[in-house]
A and B are shown apart, each in its own frame.
Chain A
Amino acid sequence: MTNLLDQSPNQNELDDLAALCDQIWVIKDGCLLMADSPQTVFNQLDDPAFDKPAAWKMAKKLELKLDGCYPVNARELKEAAENAN
């Protein structure tokens, strides 16, 4: 599944996207900024026009990483927490 992200939808939708999509396309002002996995998009996209999934924010706060990146969904966050213990 691929989803078009044209300026962030609300938090719930973002978390659903991060859990369900294979690819996310990010469009801003008519330009395709990124077309990549949720992991790459949310870890690399640094633009104040876009929010991050709650799982990503929580992971950042708790300093939990998976393969050097912050997890972007609940499943990855849980895995990172288990690895840390």
Chain B
Amino acid sequence: MQIKIKSLHYKYSETNFSLDIPDLTLSPGLICLVGQNGSGKSTLLKLLADLLPAGDAIKADGQALSEYLASGRLSKIAYAFQDPNDQLFNSSVEKELAWSMKQAKLPEDEITRRTEAALKEFGLAEFRDLNPYDLSSSGKKLLTIASALVLDPEVCLLDEPLMSLDYPGRCLVTRLLEKRLAQGKTVIMITHDMDWLSENCQEVYAMSQGQLVYHGPVHQLFSDQELLDRLGLLPAKTWQLSQLLGLKPEVLSLK
């Protein structure tokens, strides 16, 4: 599935913030989005999830995004919120997982099968009857991601999926994303974690004040001090340490 953006303009009525993206084509693979707080990353992801109206400016396989999703393709694009409290609302972990699949009208036995698999895969089985609000912060974050991935979407939109996760949680999410990418799916994710980016991502998009100001390889972003300053970013720790030791080329990954 291919997503194209053309002349996308979005403005919140309550604030002066506006987002402008003239032209962008997103192909399958991992797409990482970085940028300072308030630069518009979540707004862009919500537009791509059809949670904010984009009119004809976003097209999925040539069709306006909202029409594309409305015509029985609800499960093609899934979205996980930055703040789990904005997303989770069912009375149990199990119901939360099943909810999006019910909206997408998946058969009941398939919903049960996928729910069980996700509970196991995300280590949430012992919490199945718990109210999502009573999960730990990493448990909530994992549940938001699990609720998106159970749809087995073509495009997965993840807003800061690594936030509040402990190390095993980060390893788990990384592994699951790698699995999806190996199947030729698209993952579009926001992160502030330059170390994860450096280890796992080849290409990155950077946003500033509602505009995409960089698209290219991670190493090129880390090499451009002026751009980093403008974006308020520091390169990955391994990159900084390489510079300290005078290593060339700088180390991007210790994997």
Contact = CB atoms under 8 A, between A and B. Distances in A.
Given A15-B237, A74-B240, A57 B254 contact: yes
B166 interface: yes
Interface residues of B, number: 19
A81 B162 CA distance: 32
Interface in B197-255: 236-238, 240-242, 244-245, 251, 254
A78 B167 contact: no
Interface string A17-57: 00000000000000000000000000000001111011101
Nearest to A77: B241
A62 B246 CA distance: 13
A8 B193 contact: no
B116 interface: no
Contact of A54 (B167, B193, B237): B237
Chain A contact surface mostly: helix
Given A10-B170, A58-B251, A61-B254, A77 B244 contact: yes
Nearest to A57: B254
Contacts, number: 56
B144 to A, nearest CB: 18
Contacts of A9: 166
A7 interface: yes
Contacts of A48: 168
B241 A58 contact: yes
B152 interface: no
A58 B254 contact: yes
B50 interface: no
Nearest to A58: B241
Nearest to A53: B237
Given A58-B251, A74-B244, A11 B166 contact: no
A11 B168 CA distance: 13
Main secondary structure of the interface of B (DSSP, over half): helix
B166 A58 contact: no
A12 to B, nearest CB: 6
Nearest to A55: B241
Contacts of B237: 11-12, 15, 53-55
A53 B167 CA distance: 12
B195 interface: yes
A78 B244 contact: yes
A60 to B, nearest CB: 8
A7 B168 contact: yes
Interface of B: 162, 166-168, 170, 193-196, 236-238, 240-242, 244-245, 251, 254
Interface of A: 6-12, 15, 48-51, 53-55, 57-58, 61-62, 74, 77-78, 81
* Top 5 closest pairs, chain A to chain B, by CB: A7-B166, A54-B237, A8-B167, A11-B195, A51-B167
25 contacts: A6-B166, A7-B168, A8-B166, A8-B167, A10-B162, A10-B196, A11-B195, A11-B196, A11-B237, A12-B237, A48-B168, A49-B167, A51-B167, A53-B237, A54-B237, A54-B241, A55-B237, A57-B254, A58-B241, A58-B254, A61-B254, A62-B245, A74-B241, A77-B245, A81-B245
